[in-house]
Amino acid sequence: MYLKHFGLIELPFRITPDTSFTCLVQYHQEALNTLLMALSQGEGFVKICGEVGTGKTLLCRRLLQALDDSDEDWVTAYLPNPNLDPDTLFLALAEELDIKDVLGLDQYHLVRGINHALLDYARAKKRVVVCIDEAQAMPLETLESLRLLSNLETEKRKLLQIVLFGQPELDQKLRRPEVRQLQQRIAFHYRLRGLQKSEIGDYVAHRLRAAGYRGDGLFTAAALRALYRASGGTPRLINILAHKSLMSVFGEGQHTVKVRHVRLARRDTEGAHRIWWGWG
């Protein structure tokens, strides 16, 4: 690839979520702060929605990392694929919470086992949070079962807190009359929107530094403006376009990304926006 050409030690614009490349842009930090505040207040349900590529999975990983590093004793569970029937979801949750001897149990005894485990965690002064990624894929019946599971509580607080991460289709699903009670239980929510135009320079520079780049500005100011225009500020699109732009520069044997390189990347990328020809 182009690593040696640009003096990099790893690819700077991979689309795989990696907390070591996290750039503290405003919307992402606001969302994390919302999550931490909601969980600290003991709310049962919290919802984070955003379009494809806005960093929901990365935010989920940042939240789990923050809880692991906090002074409070948290027990965390992560369910990346919730397109499951209720029984299978309960089994997955039991495995995440390290609950033994649940295979073969019917739903009543499975939920009972989860309840006993949650009470044990509460007695040990531990708080339990479940993060569910791609929550828009969850069947309505499973969403309703999740609500019933959230009924488990002591006189003081919920035994289980649940964070839903999903695409805007999750909002549409929650407006269905079958799950209206769950919609009413969501105390905090946040919508991820993407980077602001003023942040893209810092975002690109941060990822390049994290990947080992130590030179001067690799992207011209005009190229950064074009990158923002083509991506609409969506981090995943920024990464895809920046990577393809670097490939073009490498292919030419050059060392600076210009507008024409971003334009070539835009033509080869689904979902990218048109760049004005007057730029650069």
pLDDT by residue (tens digit) across 227-277?
Answer: 999 999 999 999 999 999 999 999 999 999 999 999 999 999 988 888 765
Give the pLDDT of residue 244. 97
Q: What is the pLDDT of residue 154?
A: 64
Find, among 68, 92, 91, the residue nearest to 80 by Cα: 92
Residues 6+ apart with CB under 8 A from 13: 207, 238, 239, 240, 242, 243, 246
Q: What is the pLDDT of residue 276?
A: 62
Q: Would you state the pLDDT for residue 155?
A: 60
Tell me the per-residue pLDDT of 121-168, one tens digit each, with 9 for 90 and over: 999 999 999 999 999 999 999 998 888 888 776 666 788 999 999 999
pLDDT band at 279 (very low <50, low <70, confident <90, very high): very low
Contact criterion met (CB below 8 Å) for 236 and 15 = yes
Q: Are 17 and 133 in contact (CB under 8 A)?
A: no
Report the SS3 class of residue 233: coil
How large is the average pLDDT for residues 63-73? 90
**Winning range, highest mean pLDDT, from 18-22, 74-78, 99-103:** 74-78
Q: Are 249 and 261 in contact (CB under 8 A)?
A: yes
Q: Quick one: pLDDT at residue 103?
A: 81
pLDDT of 278 strictly over 70: no
Confidence label for 180 from pLDDT (cuts 50, 70 and 90): confident
6-35 residue pLDDT tens: 999 999 999 888 888 888 888 889 999 999
Q: What is the mean pLDDT of the chain?
A: 90
CA–CA gap between residue 184 and residue 174 (Å, rounded): 9
Question: Residue 269 and residue 35: Cα distance in Å, rounded?
Answer: 33
Q: Which domains does the chain have, with CATH numbers?
A: 26-192 (3.40.50.300), 198-267 (1.10.8)
Q: Which residues of 83-115 are buried (b: 16+ CB within 10 A; e: fewer)?
A: ebebeebbbbbbebbebeebeebeeeebbebbe
- What is the rounded average pLDDT of the residues 193-222? 94
pTM, whole model, 2 decimals? 0.88
Residue 107 pLDDT > 90, yes or no?
Answer: no
